[in-house]
Structure formats: structure tokens, C-alpha cells
A and B are shown apart, each in its own frame.
Chain A
Amino acid sequence: MTGAGTPGAGGHSRFPGFEVLEQAGHWDGVTAGVVLARVGTAPDIRFLTPEQEAIATALCDRLLGQDEEPRVPVVPMVDARLAEQETDGWHYDDVPEDGQAWRDSLRYLDADCQARFSCGLALARIEDQQEVIQSVQDLGAKDWHGLNAGHVWSLWTRYACTAFYAHPSAWNEIGFPGPAYPRGYKNPGTGKREPFEVADARPSADPVRDDS
């Protein structure tokens, strides 16, 4: 997707009219370059094979609840990091380095889906994809195809969340105004807002309270 709007997750908006990119004129040039590149054309896939790309897209869309358009192009951002070996600077000793761990885990996930639903992950129904993914999370730290399932889950969610919450569309959804240099903030403090911030339209929509 390019630019504004809230990525598809039921279409709710808690911050009506809030548009981070409208403030881009107030950002320093170096930061603007980095952030605006994310709303331009997504980088070409260089690391994942087409088969892996398809599995990764299904996985990342489910992890981030991107069930409909418009979507943040998460997999091209993950792929760019893997191609450039832009890792987090460490990997668990019971999981291979990140690139290999992504390739291996995508293959295992697809095999799980085949075994359960006689269909690869990319073409499976959303509910079936969710079930296969949930079963990996449910393993906790137990073994999954010779890997620590918890460490694989950490790998997937770290890369997926980093890509998604780097995108201005995601910032619109959570009320975060993004870059703040050189302007800074003049109104910090509980219940205070800058002129360009928008109040939460549903301040008591507490997800924790909803859970209980």
C-alpha cells in the first residue's frame, strides 16, 4: 500500500482523521527519507524463493491480522533485512542464523499445513492457516521439527512486528505521530496533546478488560 489509511483489520479507527504523513514537512530530511521510502514501492524480493515468499506472506498476514487490503508490505521488508543480513545481532544456539532459520521454519510450517489440511499454507483457508500457526505457538519451548518452537516464534514475531510497526499506516492506527525532529514536543504529560495529535475516540476500549 502507499500512504495513508488503516491497514485492514476490521476497519476500526480509534484516531479519526489522524494522518502521520501530513506532518512529514516537519521532519528532518534524513529521517523523512528513511520513513517515506517505506510508503513508496516495496523492495524487490531478493532472499526468499517464490515458494518461501508465498508461505511467508500467509504467515506474516496472519501474525499481524492483515486479512484484507490495504496491507502493509511486511514480507518485502523482512526479505530486505534477510538479504542484507540485517539481523538483530544474535541468534539462539539451538536455531540456525536468521536467514537459514526463516527458510527452514517456512518449509516446516508448510509441511504441517500439508499434513493437516492437504494444502500448502499459502492457499489454505485463513482459519486453517491460523490453526497451523497456533499449534506452533502452543508448543511453547518444546521441539518443533528439531527447533525450539519458542525461539522460532520469537524470530517470526520480531521480524514481522518490526516491519509492521515501522510503517506510518500502523502509526495512524495507534495514534503515534512518528518522527519528532527537529520539532520535538511541547505538551508532554498525562491527558495532554500536541495540536497535530488526535484524541482516542474510544478511550475505554481496554483490551485487557475485554479479556477478563
Chain B
Amino acid sequence: MAVRDRNESAWLLPNDGTRTNHRLRDGMRRFGDSDEVDLVVVGCGAGGTTLLQRLARRGWRVVGLDAGPFWDPDADWVSDEAGSHHLYWTEPRVIGGSDPVPLGSNNSGRGVGGSMVHYAGYTPRFHPSDFRTLTEDGVGADWPISYQDLQPYYADIEGELPVAGEDWPWGDPHSYPQRPHPVGGNGDIFLRGAYAAGITAKVGPVAISNGRFGNRPHCIYRGFCLQGCKVNAKASPLITHIPDALAHGAEIRADSMVTGIEVDERTGRAAGVHYVRAGVPRFQRAAAVAVAGYSIETPRLLLNSASRRFPDGLCNDFDQVGRYLMVQGAPQTAGRFDAEIRMYKSPPPEVSSEQFYETAPGKPYKRGFSIQTVSPLPITWAEHVAAQGHWGARLREYMSDYVHWSCLGALCEFLAQPGNRVTLAAEKDRHGLPVAHFDYSQCDNDRQLVKAAQGVMEDILHAAGADEVITIQRFAHLVGGARMAASEQHGVVDASCRTFAVPNLYITDGSVLPTQGSANPALTIMAVAARAAGHLAAAAHGGS
């Protein structure tokens, strides 16, 4: 089916140079709290929005709640780093463990569109091996589904975003609906260095429209992808799935913080969600509930939804909620060139390599890493320079050298571990709810991957002619925390994203992923949610 026939979002946006279809939003269907909707979705990011759009298309009465605003790129977003602070989830959270992982701007979105509003735009698929790392490599976990189960959904979503890139030789080889973008200075360095070092690198895969797509214009290569795309060129659910969902009768209720999921003690079924809007506590009735608050807020909401039946938190009979949370090790290595690279021009996501993605014979570690261009803007670049220990006049001198640097980033597949988890902190948010405490500690395999990835990035930059290189240790992305498993002893949801404990409660976000590969997770989150939508529809049809 042609993209427009299954998702008309890009054609529902204005074509007059503005970015938001206000008439569609103003005329949106609105349900009352006492209406029992077919489905209420908590969180309007990659997973929640995809589910919402699919089910609205099937005629379901659906409402999506989001704690943050219903963004208008024209009025709300700026072409500026510090001014984009409001795009991130900055409600309080506490981090610990031997390797604490910063949240906020690094990995946590807020508002309709979720983290995809400020992700770089890379949308690689997972590899087939990612779904059976325990069997193949003796680490991580096996998914209760295979790559083949997701493959058609990957292809669908790639068409809807759409994704631009070269023919992809890694994992399950495939091509993309749009041709690769031209590259800027940073992509040029990566391609040249990789070629000289004998490493295969490819342009893409990025969910940034290369050419007009519906009423979405071509990318203007301004480099502020992480600050929200004011152009509507970079895909986020705000423009790729919300317009079509609204046109099919979905309601988006923004600025609505969900505080608890209500489960009927007698029937054992979810009855709806408690939320707060403008300070007023409310309750939305629903025949089914889907949680899509991502890997920190989804476990937190379940833990904060304890009841007599679930004293340790909803769906937590087997102490699985919040566990096996993963981040990718994301060292960034930069190289210095006498030529001007000016990496801030062109999108940060340009070129990537998955040559080191799989377990390699002869290496002391399992699994692997990918390498991508990252192109930090000045404030983020200052973090790199400060991480080298520089401050004062030395920091300023280093920073004045900005235009000469090229920067690559790795995504290292850190392994799922039970102790890397979300629990509830003593600290409370402004609604009086305990905030998330997120512990993270690396294992030996994790550390070896980071070291190996740094070595490869240094090789590429040196091969491109860099005289010096510097590296900063970072983390990227979140997945897991309410993982999919074959049985309730090992996870929170089944292969169709339905919770083991409550038959009409689903989780459709990154927290269900049992492993993460070395891929940016957005595309997989959307594919998993699109697949879950089919199962929800089938279950409802069967009267379950």
C-alpha cells in the first residue's frame, strides 16, 4: 500500500511555510473523562503515537495523554542550543551506581513527539542477531519474537518517516525509500578516514526527508536537529503520525501528567488512568491502557501504581519492573584538522558504520558497536573540552579552535543486567509522587567495547589526517526496564506487548526491548508498537 494510503500525516501538514495544521488540532475530537474510550495511551512519543495512529485508523476511540506540551515548531522551538532546554524531561530524577547515567537532554523527551523531537535522526534497524544474543553469544537475552516478526513493520515505518540512506549492507541487507543526503565536513572526514583505514562506512540511515515529502520540505542543513526541527524535515511522531491520528478521530491531551493506573480489584482489569491537568486530579476511563512513557517513566509509573493486589508495584509480582534497563556506551572521539571542518553545518547524523556490530571471532568481548558522525554544537562541545580537564583561559583557547574539529560517536552494546534498574527515590516531584532513582553499573564486557570503539574512531580520524584526537565518555539512549519475555518470571510483557499481570494493560515503548544492539532505538520502538497495534486489534476483534 502506498504510504499516503496508510498514513496521510505528511499531506495533512500545511504547505504555506508554516509547520502546524492548527485547524486539525482545533477541530480535534475531545472525549470526556467519564467516556470509556477504547484505549488510553500514556505518553505521545515514538511508541505511544505509532500505536495511537494505527488504532485510530481502525476506528478505535483513542486518547493520548502527554505530560508535556503539544508543540508548534514555529512558535515553540528555536535554532539555539540553550534555548531548547524545554524539549527535555527535566522533572527531578536521581542517578547512581558505579557508572551513573545523566538523563535529561541526553535521552529524555517531553511533550508530544517525545524524544524523537530532539533525537539526531538516525534510524537503523536492529540486526537479526539482536533477537537471540543469549543463544548465539551467551550474553543478554533472547526476545520472544524474531527479526522476521518485525521486518515488515521496519519497512512500513521507514516509508512513513521516511528514511534516506545508501543501500544497507549490514544485518538484514535492505535499501531505503530515499536517496542518501549530501554530506558536510564531518561526514566527509568520516568517509575519507574510513576508506583510508579499510573500514566500510555508509551515508545514512537518517529520518530526514531528502526532497519534498507530502507537504514536508527538504532539509536546509542547518545542523540544529537536536533542538527540534523547525523545518519539518526531520521525522518525529509530531509530524509523522499525529496528524493522521487526529484526522481519524484520536484525541491528544497534552500537559496531562499521568500519576497512576487504576486496576479494578474484582475483575483484575485496568479501568483507566489518574492524571493531573492544570493542578486538577482527573480520571480517564478506558477499556484498555497502553503505557509508553519510556524506560524511566514507564517503570516509575508502574511502581507508583501499587495497590493491595500489587503491593510492590503494578505488574511487579516477579520483581521485574525497572530491571534490565540499558544504555549504550557512547564515547565520542574528535580529531583536529588544520582545515576548517565546521561540523555544525549539516545535520549531525550523516554517516555510519555497522562493520563492528556483531560478535567478532578472536575478540575478548561479545557483541559490538557502531560508529556515527555526531557534530556537537558549542555548548556540547564545551562539555568535551571541559572533560579533558581544561578550564579558564585554556578552555577558551581550546574552544576557539572549534571549527577545526571533526567528531565521531560510537554506540556500544552494553549488556542487560538485573541491577541496572529504576526504583523509587525518597525525593518527590511537584505532584507529591516519588521520583525515579536510576542505578547503572558497567560490566567488563561493556568497558572492553568502549575501549575498542575508541580505538576504531581514533584510527578513522588519524587515517583522515587528524593530528590529535580527544575522547569523552558518554552514554546514549535508553531501552529496557519493563522487558518483553517468554514468561512472567523473566519480564513484564509478552511478545505482543501485553503485560502478564493485567490482560488489558500494554506497554508499547522502548522499555519492552530485551536487548539493544548498537542501533539507535527509535525505529525499532515504532516497529514494535506498530506490531503491537495489530495484536490489540486482533484481540479486541476476538472479544478478549
* In the complex, B524 has a CB within 8 A of chain A: no
A207 to B88, Cβ gap below 8 A?
Answer: no
1/0 contact trace for B359-401 toward A, CB 8 Å? 0000000000000000001110111001001011111111111
B80 to A87, Cβ gap below 8 A?
Answer: no
* In the complex, A175 has a CB within 8 A of chain B: yes
A193 to B467, Cβ gap below 8 A?
Answer: no
1/0 contact trace for A90-118 toward B, CB 8 Å? 11111001000000000000000000000
1/0 contact trace for A122-159 toward B, CB 8 Å? 00000000100100010000000000000000000110
Question: Contacts A89-B91, A93-B96, A174-B402 given: A190-B189 contact, CB under 8 Å?
Answer: yes
Q: Which positions 58-106 of chain A face chain B at CB distance < 8 Å?
A: 62-65, 67, 86-94, 97
Secondary structure class of chain A's binding surface, majority of residues: loop
A188 to B346, Cβ gap below 8 A?
Answer: yes
Q: Which positions 31-52 of chain A face chain B at CB distance < 8 Å?
A: 31, 34-35
Report B-chain residues with C-beta under 8 Å of the C-beta of A97. 92, 427
Q: Which residue of B lies closest to A38 (CB)?
A: B82
Q: Which positions 155-212 of chain A face chain B at CB distance < 8 Å?
A: 157-158, 161-166, 170-171, 173-176, 178-185, 187-194, 197, 199-200, 203-209, 212
A190 to B339, Cβ gap below 8 A?
Answer: yes
Question: Contacts A65-B393, A90-B93, A193-B340 given: A174-B379 contact, CB under 8 Å?
Answer: no
Q: Which residue of A lies closest to B425 (CB)?
A: A93
B340 to A200, Cβ gap below 8 A?
Answer: yes
Q: Which residue of A lies closest to B379 (CB)?
A: A165
A203 to B340, Cβ gap below 8 A?
Answer: yes
Report B-chain residues with C-beta under 8 Å of the C-beta of A157. 383, 386, 391
Q: Which positions 307-343 of chain B face chain A at CB distance < 8 Å?
A: 336-342
Report B-chain residues with C-beta under 8 Å of the C-beta of A25. none
Question: Contacts A9-B396, A34-B78, A208-B468 given: A92-B342 contact, CB under 8 Å?
Answer: no
Least Cβ–Cβ distance between A117 and chain B, in angstroms: 18
Q: Which residue of A lies closest to B378 (CB)?
A: A165
Q: Which residue of A lies closest to B381 (CB)?
A: A165
* In the complex, B224 has a CB within 8 A of chain A: yes
Q: Which positions 500-542 of chain B face chain A at CB distance < 8 Å?
A: none
A87 to B92, Cβ gap below 8 A?
Answer: yes
* Interface residues contributed by chain A, number (CB under 8 Å): 69
B378 to A180, Cβ gap below 8 A?
Answer: no
A88 to B392, Cβ gap below 8 A?
Answer: no
* In the complex, B249 has a CB within 8 A of chain A: no
Q: Within the assembled complex, what's the spacing in Å between the Cα atoms of A38 and B400? A: 20
Partner of B105, one of A88, A91, A173, A189: A88
Least Cβ–Cβ distance between B121 and chain A, in angstroms: 15
25 residue pairs bridging A and B, Cβ less than 8 Å apart: A28-B74, A28-B78, A30-B75, A34-B83, A64-B391, A65-B392, A88-B90, A88-B103, A89-B104, A90-B93, A90-B94, A92-B94, A166-B82, A178-B80, A180-B223, A181-B79, A182-B220, A183-B222, A188-B182, A188-B221, A191-B185, A207-B397, A207-B398, A208-B470, A209-B468
- What residues make up the interface of B, taking CB atoms closer than 8 Å to A? 74-83, 85, 88-96, 100, 102-105, 108, 182-185, 188-189, 220-224, 230-231, 336-342, 344-346, 377-379, 381-383, 386, 389, 391-404, 425, 427, 437-438, 467-468, 470
